[in-house]
Every structure is written in C-alpha cells, then in structure tokens.
Amino acid sequence: MTRRTKVRAAMQDRLRRHDIDPTRVNINTRILWEGQSLFDGEDLVVLASGFQLPSQNEKTGDMVQVSYFVRHTPPLEALRSGKDSTVCGDCPLRGDICYVQLEQGVGNTWQSWNDGKVLDAVEADYEYLKSVEVRYGAYGDPASVPFDISSEWHGSVWTGYTHAWRYCDQRYSTLLHASVEDKDGYVLAKTMGWESYRIIEDEDERMDTEVMCLNHTNPEIQCVECGLCSGTSTRARRDIANKVHGTKYKIIRYAFLRGGLLFQVLGPAPSKTFKRLKDETIAAVASFVFDNGGGNTS
C-alpha cells in the first residue's frame, strides 16, 4: 500500500464513521493549525494539500504544499488591503513581485476552507507528512507559526524559505533557507548562521559560495529530488542562487527593489489606492525602459 493510498483509506474510514458526505469534503487538503500569527497577532490558518492528488507544480514536483492564510480574508483581498502582513510579514516581494498566483490554486484552497470543506488533520495525516516530501510556504511565510508546531510537519525531505530570518525564531534556520535579495543580506544571514537563497538578475552575479538552483540548471531536477533548500539541518548545506523569473514587469520591479529605488519611497504594503498609483508609475517607467532598448531579459 503506497503512502497516499494509506492516508486516503484512513480518510474514507473517517468519513464513513462520522457519516460525512464525501462530496462535501476537500479530501486533498487538511487544516494543520489555526492560531495567531507571530508577525502581527492576527488569526491565520495553515492548510496542507497533497493528501489525495500529486502536486502539479513543475518546479517542486510531488510535494505536500503547506500554505499560510489570513483567516476569513481571501488571499487576493489580503494582498490588496495589506492584511497579508499576517502571513507574509514584511516580505519585500509582497504585492506585484511575488510569484504566487493567488487567483488559482492558492485562492481555491482558501475558498475550500472558507466553505467548510476542509477537515482538521488527525494523527494519520501527521504521520503521512512525516513519510512524504513537504514544501513549507507554497503561500505565506512559515515563520508566522511557532517553530515547535511547524517543525513537526515533515519527515526526511522538505523545503522552505523565510523572509523573516532577521527577527523570527532563530531555530527556523534549521528548517528554512533565508531569502535574501542582495549581498548585504547574504552576509548578514551567514553571520547569523543561516543558509541563504538569493534571487539574482544575472547568473554572473552568483558568488563562489553559492550554487545555482538545480532546477534552474536542469529543469528535470525538481525540489522533491533536490531538497537543498532546507536550512542547516541537512548534510549537504548550500547557499542557493536563482535567477529571477516571471513577466518582464515583475523582473523590472525586482530590479527596482534591489536598487532600492521606488520601493524605498513607496513601501512594500501599500493601500489599494496607493498600490494603483505605484503600479501606474512603475508601468510608465517600465514602458520607458523597453521603448528605449532596455529590459533584455530573454
């Protein structure tokens, strides 16, 4: 019996015993934890998906995807209102640089929970997490949850990152890589004892102490096989560099972030109106750059 078959059977048994209509339950997802965010004290909920179906994420491969949500606020609305600080902290990628597609899988997962279709994880589910590969932070920052709780949600292979490495519970360095944007951040993270994950604009920027993300070098290697981004716990400790990806717009926004230009003036968590003004400004600058021959990102 495979690991997934086993947990599937345990869920079917549970539904039968409690006389729950299986068509009203999202059997692929579980509630791992509900409580207050360590970032701002607001309510959050942690959901894990992958109990029934393999993840289709091309980069990670088949890993259980753990996401952190603001309770009772859809992810897109949380982003627009700035409430996402509950689960994202002060991550500088919040807003239009973040790669997470809030309208699709992540939004559907939250909706399913909000509709009451997701059940609490039980012992068999936590056992399952220990027997499979886990990706912390498909959406949200894992360090928003107490370390003693979330460190129980993995077995021998996991991956995860935090932008809150400067101020979070430092035991998270054993579980997560520190997300950094520049060399100053890299040096500080190393000084504090973290392994780092740095998004760079050009491969030339990679330092000798960093290895390029294996999936970037060879797309056939997925996180599920690689597992390097798992903090200091693993024997193969590595600092990772990865090339920024996404739309040209996001890439330019990231360049601004690293240059400390508009970002420092406009901030990472603007209100809806402020965000619109910021977007219009950045779109105008981006258009100017491309019109004048810049922005060769291919």
Q: Does 226 bind ligand SF4 (CB under 6 A)?
A: yes
Q: Does 102 bind ligand SF4 (CB under 6 A)?
A: no
CB of residue 165 vs ligand SF4: minimum separation in angstroms?
A: 16
Q: Does 178 bind ligand SF4 (CB under 6 A)?
A: no
Distance between CA atoms of residues 183 and 169, nearest Å: 23
138 or 214: CB nearest ligand SF4: 214
CB of residue 218 vs ligand SF4: minimum separation in angstroms?
A: 9
Q: Does 176 bind ligand SF4 (CB under 6 A)?
A: no
Site mask for ligand SF4 (CB under 6 A), range 41-80, x = bound = ----------------------------------------
Q: Does 196 bind ligand SF4 (CB under 6 A)?
A: no
Q: Does 241 bind ligand SF4 (CB under 6 A)?
A: no
38 or 228: CB nearest ligand SF4: 228
Of the candidates 70, 138, 199, 229, which one interacts with ligand SF4 according to CB under 6 A?
Answer: 229
The residues binding ligand SF4 (CB under 6 A) are 159, 213-215, 221, 223, 226-229, 240
